[in-house]
Chains A and B, each alone.
Chain A
Amino acid sequence: EAGVAQSPRYKIIEKRQSVAFWCNPISGHATLYWYQQILGQGPKLLIQFQNNGVVDDSQLPKDRFSAERLKGVDSTLKIQPAKLEDSAVYLCASSLTTRGSAGGANVLTFGAGSRLTVL
């Protein structure tokens, strides 16, 4: 089974520029997550999709971050304009869990991540 694909792996930009990250989840996985992992910290959930609908975006800085999941498959995460504190690894994950299943095992499969450096 192919894993979760993410691109680009690395991106360096200057503050106030924009950047976009792409994620292709495992085929058939209904749930897709974007996490932000700042150096030395655990991952923090930014947004969760169930198919192409948003389940949780409570920790997404909506003034500069946006995300979409077209046709319930691929997803893009955009930052505009970027700030220094946005330097982090952006992890995409997917799972089979469907909403209303009381959570189930909910084993997430993570991609390798996209490392962003904002100068």
Chain B
Amino acid sequence: KQEVTQIPAALSVPEGENLVLNCSFTDSAIYNLQWFRQDPGKGLTSLLLIQSSQREQTSGRLNASLDKSSGRSTLYIAASQPGDSATYLCAVKRFGNEKLTFGTGTRLTIIP
């Protein structure tokens, strides 16, 4: 059974700093991995999707990396802004199974 873990559960950093969020998964037979953002009272917004054959994806100030062999992914946020404050969730999808397995999320607070 796939288990997805995100540590830390909460993180506070001053505005302008670069930061890294971590995601680990137990079963490396994944098809892809996605990073989502969730704002309070709102649904999830997909940020980046990395296929199993890829090692990283970039979108603006966000960069996600994937190391399948070690069961890890990181989300790097450059030059953090107060608007980046949200909960960030990673989710993995297995081959032959459309279901996404989510981590518990990291609640990020950027301090102005």
A interface with B by C-beta (< 8 Å): 4, 31, 40-45, 48, 55-56, 91, 93, 97, 99, 102-103, 105-113, 115
Determine the distance from Cα of A33 to Cα of B95 in the docked complex, in whole angstroms. Answer: 18
Q: B31 and A42: CB pair below 8 A?
A: no
Would you call the interface of chain A mostly helix, strand, loop, or mixed? loop
Q: B89 and A42: CB pair below 8 A?
A: yes
Q: Tell me if B18 counts as interface (CB < 8 A to partner A).
A: no
Of A43, A55, A99, A102, which contacts B44 at CB under 8 A?
A43
Would you call the interface of chain B mostly helix, strand, loop, or mixed? strand
B interface with A by C-beta (< 8 Å): 4, 31-32, 34, 41-46, 49, 89, 91, 93, 95, 97-100, 102-105
Q: How far is the CB of B6 from chain A (nearest CB, A)?
A: 8
Give chain B residues whose Cβ lies under 8 Å from the Cβ of A115. 41
Q: How far is the CB of B2 from chain A (nearest CB, A)?
A: 12
Q: B105 and A56: CB pair below 8 A?
A: no
Given A42-B103, A106-B32, A112-B98 contact (CB < 8 Å): no
